Amino acid sequence: MEIVHTVRRMREIADESCARGKVTGLVPTMGALHAGHFSLVRAAQAESSRVVVSIFVNPKQFWPNEDFENYPRSFEKDVVALESLGVDHVFAPSVGEMYPAGFSTAVSLEGLSERLEGRSRPGHFHGVATVVLKLFEIVRPSFAYFGRKDAQQLRIIEQMTKDLNLGVRIVPCAIVREPDGLALSSRNACLNPRERQAATALYRALDRARRRVSQGEVNTKQLIQDVEQTIGEEDTASLEYAEIVETSDFLPAEQLRNSCLLLIAAIVGCTRLIDNALIERKEGSFQVTL
Ligand code: AMP
């Protein structure tokens, strides 16, 4: 496994892969890797002849008061894990390598990037879209793997890829959870034991909605009230938003429709967590995937 720190070397590898007709799968990450990331790597290995995992904590997707400096980092450990999984290349550029002096371009998507996460974290998705576009240009993958855990990010990357004819197939991957339901996240490492316990409220809220939907509830206001109640019962958790939106445009849905997402963001202690459930109409009834 080669660890690549420069754009130039990564480009050489990409050119050589293209010349040899290799199919490259890219898994973009910010490191502090866990089983959720590894599931993306395995999905990539199943379809690609060469797998590149990028590790880059992207300052442009954090805004000034956020946790860029304190974001968990475990580069040595990540490299050992990726090596044992049989990954071909780790692309780990420095901030200066990705954003040299004078860098001034930002990719912005209208509408989609301003709602929900974009409203809570202004500029976040510009940073995400910009870095992903750069990674696509540098690594030149045929496939790129993104977790459904970051549902709005996934939708934005799909839209950007389509709008700009990037020719990369975006592969959505299922959310990997702890046995008690908490979605794996690098930020979970910031939770103390009491907060770790409280953090399960996000999953419990989604699971409660799943049960309500299976009993025939289609009124989204009612479903959201249930979420608010479940999170409200936890002292250390405060809900930032809970919304049910159409998967296509992330606009609020009053009733459940063919494909919706129930999205939650909550602060547990000092840690901001997100989670979601996909609600789809299948054979006349709604099914909820957590
Ligand atoms: P991050 O390192 O947090 O930027 O995440 C890198 C990729 O891993 C993104 O596509 C995430 O959606 C995905 N990911 C993070 N957590 C999970 C999880 N629990 N299950 C599946 N994918 C995940």
Q: What percentage of the chain's residues is helix, strand, coil (to nearest 5)?
A: 40, 25, 35
243 lines ligand 1 (CB under 6 A): no
Distance 37 CA to ligand 1 centre (A): 6
Distance 186 CA to ligand 1 centre (A): 8
Long-range contacts of 13-19 (CB under 8 A, 24+ apart): 13/52, 13/89, 14/138, 14/139, 14/140, 15/140, 17/50, 17/140, 18/140
d(CA 290, CA 182): 10
Say whether pTM exceeds 0.95: yes
pLDDT at 127: 97
Map residue 164 onto helix, strand or coil: coil
In 117-192, where does DSSP find H-type helix? 117-120, 124-139, 151-163
pLDDT at 65: 82
Distance 167 CA to ligand 1 centre (A): 22
Provide the token pair at 49.
């002849």
pLDDT at 68: 95
Distance 11 CA to ligand 1 centre (A): 25
Cross-sheet strand order for the sheet of 285-289: 237-246, 259-268, 271-282, 285-289
Single out the residue of 112, 107, 110 nearest to residue 248, CA to CA: 112
pLDDT at 28: 99
The atom of ligand 1 lying closest to the CA of 174 is 21
30 lines ligand 1 (CB under 6 A): yes
pLDDT at 67: 87
Is 37 in the active site? Answer: yes
Question: Which of 26, 29, 188, 274 to mutate for ligand 1's pocket (most ligand atoms within 8 Å of CB)?
Answer: 29
The atom of ligand 1 lying closest to the CA of 31 is 2
The conformation of residue 85, written as its DSSP 8-state character, comes to H
Q: Which residues contact 272 (CB under 8 A, 6 or more apart)?
A: 187, 240, 265, 266
92 lines ligand 1 (CB under 6 A): no
Map residue 14 onto helix, strand or coil: helix
Kindly name the residue from 5, 34, 37, 126 that is annotated as catalytic: 37
Single out the residue of 226, 235, 220 nearest to residue 279, CA to CA: 220
In Å, the largest CA–CA distance within the chain is 58
d(CA 145, CA 40): 6
pLDDT at 12: 98
Each residue's pLDDT expressed in tens, for the chain with a length of 290 residues: 999 999 999 999 999 999 999 999 999 999 999 999 999 999 999 999 999 999 999 999 998 888 899 999 999 999 999 999 999 999 999 999 999 999 999 999 999 999 999 999 999 999 999 999 999 999 999 999 999 999 999 999 999 999 999 999 999 999 999 999 999 999 999 999 999 999 999 999 999 999 999 999 999 999 999 999 999 999 999 999 999 999 999 999 999 989 999 999 999 999 999 999 999 999 999 999 99
pLDDT at 103: 98
pLDDT at 63: 86
